[in-house]
Structure 1
Amino acid sequence: MKGAAQPSGAHGAASPAHPGGAPGPRLTRDGDIRSTTIPNLFHELFVARATGLLVVTDGDNRISIQVKNGLVLFASSNQRDDRLNQYLLTSGIIGLKNLMKALEVMVATKDRLGEVLIRYKLMTQDDVEKYVRAQVCEIVYSTFQFTRGRFAFDSKPPASENITLNLSGDAIVIAGVKRISSWARVYEEVGGLNSEYRTTRDMPAIVKDLPLSAEETELLRQCDVPTSLEEMCEASKLSDMDVCRSVWALLLVGALMRA
């Protein structure tokens, strides 16, 4: 694929086999970020069942992602707009008056925002956990917009967190690629209308636990035989852009291949 991660420095040991049986790629430890770097990285981390901290930077934007055995556990960002309070307000989950009250208490008591929201009955424990997971997912998915900068993966035990995602790297790929808005990036990977695809031998094992939509499952069914991108776009209920993004994601995780 174009724009694969450019390695520098040490590499990890050979990774375990993919769930479908194919040998996994070597885990790239650090390098420059290009168009396909981030999607490829999450797939590599999953296949290698890696544990450690992935740090992605672009200028002053820094995102840290904790991974255990190929599962994404948690993420944090140094950007103010990525904080939980901003997410709750901009998503319409909590009003400004209640949020400001909770923030004042948080500063005074040094408690976490979620703890304050529960204490003042502005949210339940289940609500806080749901919205923290949603906020963390948004931070993780935002890395799929990165086409420049640097990444580094450090193999070390993850920090302890009360609320975790436990999402596989491939599940992150399926959802994250859908957030990519650049047609140029998608087109580079899926090609023109005459490009043909078919499912791989390992497809059933690969997608077994992935959060595929009914439309994505239908794309895979179509590709039991070589199928052109034009044929998929014409037959699918998805928009053409969404078909192409889904094809790219399914290529990345190894469920599809070029015919």
Structure 2
Amino acid sequence: MPGRWFPCRGPGAGEGATVSESPEIGSEALCEALGLPEGEQLDLLQVAPTTVTLVRRRPEEEGLPVAPPALHAEVETFPLAFVLRAIHGSGQSGLLRFRYRDHRKSVWIRRGEVVFATSNQRVDRLGECLLRAGVIQLGMLREAERSFQVVGPGDRFGKVLVERGFLTPRELWNGVKYQVEEVVRSLFAYGSGTVSFWEGDIEPDNVVRLSLPTARLVEEGLQRSAELAKFLAVLRDPRVSLARVEGCSAELAGNERALADAIGAGRDFEDVCRVLDFDFASAARSIQLLRLVGAVKLMRLPEAGGLTEDESFALVDRDSLQERVSGLTKWINELASLVAQADGGWAGVLERLGRVLDDTTGRFPALLTGVELRPGASLDVDVLVSRGLKLPGQREDQLASALGELIAYLEFEVKDHPAIAAPDELLTRLRGSLPTP
């Protein structure tokens, strides 16, 4: 409120700065004087020689650590990839907070590796992440949300998904890991905002403690950011328009519902963002989800005039993907056959490879959830191709990474199996007869 001045009585105030009638930083009196909505609070972020930085906190948001952060910077100056790589390289522990407009994301780090992450954005919630990964369907998500409202906020949404029979406990565990990874990967799509890091053994307020490789998440996040930039270029093309699919809005909620309603029968992307005051990157992520559930489609204006749906938005055609998946699954079958022959049977290698498949599913749930090894270590090519076609970005690369985990493990077994003579020669012959994995 202009015209009112309060001597500081918060942490870091100098001697003599306190007077009895002055409010403390974060007090109700100061919040009221600044005209903050009821329930909002102020946290002290940074004390500098000439400035004190306070941040607004909504009732549902977590508070900041009491001590000032070791780092507080603009993302334009200190990109998040640089910050996370530095933390990882030095093996530090602590809490990283990112802020952009009303976006709040937190990452807990222990000895340089990610142990947990949270976001206040609906698109980053567990249900939406599982939906985007193809693990659950939209109807399942909405049914679970209705059940969750009945049991109340004291329970966990993941528990409801398991109780409703939509997930097994193992699938929920993989889903939580995937959600945390998605929150971290989403950070690299932001070109603006602030990042703060508090060093120390700061634990998240939950029972989940993961250990996720920070270096991998940074690389995947940068790749995801590049893919989102390509999708944004398509959305901002003046020849491209968005159109809502009739009858698909009833099950939507939050930003996705607002986007679908604003798009209506046809509207360009930038106009929708202006009307809703959405930033481009966040809106693009929500539109990816809307396309996945069939609620929104992209239309291209051809040279002759008139709108037609443009199927060229599919980055890889089915034939190319089918050929790639077939080649990768042949590698898995041939390598597993060598190990089974050396073992004297299939039981052992199928059990070991099944465990690797379970672990890999945690990284690639959209591709591998529910996929099982069949006799001869074969996989359902049609299922993998169908799921691969729904992936955003470089689909062939993602498929190769997922199935490559199985191939790498089997190559390891071939090289180290005591009953396999001259394994390098065997692998060389295979490379000469099979497509490059």
Number of the residue aligned with 1:66 = 108
Alpha carbon RMSD of aligned pairs, Å? Answer: 2.6
**For 1:114 and 1:155, how far apart are their aligned partners in 2?**
30
On the 8 A contact 1:9/1:30 being kept in 2, the answer is no
Matched, 1:144 2:219: no
Classify 1:96/1:175 alpha carbon distance in 2 versus 1 (closer, same or farther; 3 Å).
Answer: closer
| Structure 2 runs not aligned, ≥5 long | 1-45, 49-68, 231-393, 398-437
**Percentage of pairs with the same residue:** 28
Residue aligned with 1:128, SS: helix
Match runs of 1:79-94 below 5 Å = 79-94=121-136
Number of the residue aligned with 1:123 = 167
Residue aligned with 1:167, SS: coil
Worse-superposed segment, 79-88 or 32-41: 32-41
Number of the residue aligned with 1:168 = 213
On the 8 A contact 1:33/1:148 being kept in 2, the answer is yes
Classify 1:92/1:168 alpha carbon distance in 2 versus 1 (closer, same or farther; 3 Å).
Answer: closer
On the 8 A contact 1:51/1:158 being kept in 2, the answer is no
Match runs of 1:94-105 below 5 Å = 94-105=136-147
| Structure 1 runs not aligned, ≥5 long | 1-7, 11-26, 184-238, 243-259
Larger helix share, 1 or 2: 2
Give, in angstroms, the shift of residue 28 of structure 1.
6.0
**For 1:123 and 1:116, how far apart are their aligned partners in 2?**
9
Give, in angstroms, the shift of residue 35 of structure 1.
7.1
- Residue number among 223, 230, 237 corresponding to 1:178 in the alignment: 223
On the 8 A contact 1:64/1:77 being kept in 2, the answer is yes
Residue aligned with 2:225, SS: coil
**For 2:223 and 2:132, how far apart are their aligned partners in 1?**
21
Offset from partner CA, 1:25-81 (integer Å, 9 cap, x none): xx9611111276111111111122222110011111111111111111111111111
Residue aligned with 1:166, SS: coil
- Taking structure 1 as the reference length, what is the TM-score of the superposition? 0.56
Give, in angstroms, the shift of residue 176 of structure 1.
2.0
Match runs of 1:144-223 below 5 Å = 144-156=188-200, 157-181=202-226
Match runs of 1:11-50 below 5 Å = 29-34=71-76, 37-50=79-92
Matched, 1:114 2:169: no
**For 2:137 and 2:223, how far apart are their aligned partners in 1?**
29
Residue aligned with 2:224, SS: coil
Letter of the aligned partner of 1:145 in structure 2? A
Runs of 4+ in 1 over 3 A off after TM superposition: 160-165
**For 2:212 and 2:143, how far apart are their aligned partners in 1?**
33
Number of the residue aligned with 1:13 = none
Aligned residues: 162
On the 8 A contact 1:141/1:175 being kept in 2, the answer is yes
Offset from partner CA, 1:162-186 (integer Å, 9 cap, x none): 3344123323222222223159xxx
- Taking structure 2 as the reference length, what is the TM-score of the superposition? 0.34
